[in-house]
Structure 1
Amino acid sequence: MIRKFILVFSLMVIAGCGFKLRGTIPWPTDYQNVYMEGYNPSQRDSFYASVKRFFPEHVKVVNNQKDADVIIQVLSESQTARTVSGLAANRDTEEVVTLNVTVQVLDDQGNEIMPATTLTRERDFTYDESNLLGKSTDLQNVSRILRQETASMFMRRLEAAMKNIDEIKAQ
């Protein structure tokens, strides 16, 4: 009896606190065709390929800018690594890898949906100095993960910008 009371009380408290998962922001119906300037489908680990995975199913990536409602442009992309620790024999063992991507989004009329924005992600990268081939493979994996995280961050910002556009049009 007491257990049921505690369970019911707990559920009421959780339900009454207003907590809910964020969910996804609906993609505006005016922007169903997306053109990604410089996108190459054969580059599976590129920033664009990571962004494409986040689009809703009904959004189509088009190959011609004239067919697009939304134009995504990567203005710059750079990846750097800096050593944060090493061995006495002057061999690096830990680095911090940083990815910077500057991107902007325009509509088909050239109006800014999202102004030029620089997104930055960092990740520590530790490796065994005796396995140089493993370092190369691990660095590729870190780069891929950084692009996925940056793409996720970009999509959250793009969805928020598009939500603002929908609210402005509704007024």
Structure 2
Amino acid sequence: MTTLAGCGFQLRGTSPVPAALQPLAVECPDSLPGRFCQSVREQLSLGGIELKPATEADYLLRLGRYQQDRRASAITAQAAAAEYILRHTVTIELMTTDRVPLIAATDLSASETYRYDETNVLAKQREEEELRQQLGDRLAQQVIFRLAPMTRERIDAAIEAHAASQDAAGSP
């Protein structure tokens, strides 16, 4: 097993989020898809991260501005869509409960292309819905991986840098 530990091997489904981000609150407004929010929370819990309400947490992960976009990317000779691109985007922000930013507001996105067949509309609608769910799950994984570098050292450095910038701003 030591060979695997040295090569970056990680069991599937485990979180790369460091324990330094505990306890963590996840703010996920009702405007975001419930399945996406649930996926983020589940992946954090699977990784051993203790989730708490914002009033009891040391860190706050804010999720917002979830956008879903569907655009034609290829057109048939009859001017009908032959292929679509689905793109989902979410904004994340990580801060201490004292509002010290650890990760500034950042947009994450995932996209997928699929062929459209107007003679098989129901099957393509089901395929599109499945792809939307997969994109949401992929975005949730991106959120988790974005938190991975947040070690105790990085958190402390960010807090110190924030305090220094506040001191400099207050100095004449």
**Who is 2:140 aligned against?**
151
Does residue 98 (structure 1) correspond to residue 87 (structure 2)? The answer is yes
Does residue 27 (structure 1) correspond to residue 18 (structure 2)? The answer is yes
**Distance apart, 1:160 and its partner CA:** 0.8
- Secondary structure of the residue that 2:126 maps to in structure 1? helix
1:81/1:26 CA distance change after superposition, 3 Å: closer
**Distance apart, 1:124 and its partner CA:** 0.7
**Who is 1:133 aligned against?**
122
Question: Structure 1 regions of 5+ residues with no counterpart?
Answer: 1-14
1:111/1:152 CA distance change after superposition, 3 Å: same
**Who is 2:97 aligned against?**
108
**Distance apart, 1:29 and its partner CA:** 4.7
Does residue 60 (structure 1) correspond to residue 50 (structure 2)? The answer is yes
| Partner Cα distance (2:21, 2:87) in 1 | 35
Asked if 2 retains the 8 angstrom alpha-carbon contact of 1:114 and 1:161, the reply is no
* Structure 1, 53-62 or 150-159: larger mean CA deviation: 53-62
**Distance apart, 1:140 and its partner CA:** 1.4
Question: Structure 2 regions of 5+ residues with no counterpart?
Answer: 159-172
The structure with the larger Rg is 1
1:164/1:56 CA distance change after superposition, 3 Å: farther
| Partner Cα distance (1:25, 1:79) in 2 | 26
| Partner Cα distance (2:56, 2:143) in 1 | 22
| Partner Cα distance (2:69, 2:16) in 1 | 33
- Secondary structure of the residue that 2:131 maps to in structure 1? helix
Q: Percent identity?
A: 16
1:164/1:118 CA distance change after superposition, 3 Å: farther
**Distance apart, 1:74 and its partner CA:** 1.9
1:83/1:131 CA distance change after superposition, 3 Å: same
2:76 to 83, 87, 92: 87
* Structure 1, 23-32 or 150-159: larger mean CA deviation: 23-32
Runs of 4+ in 1 over 6 A off after TM superposition: none
**Distance apart, 1:25 and its partner CA:** 4.2
| Partner Cα distance (1:126, 1:84) in 2 | 9
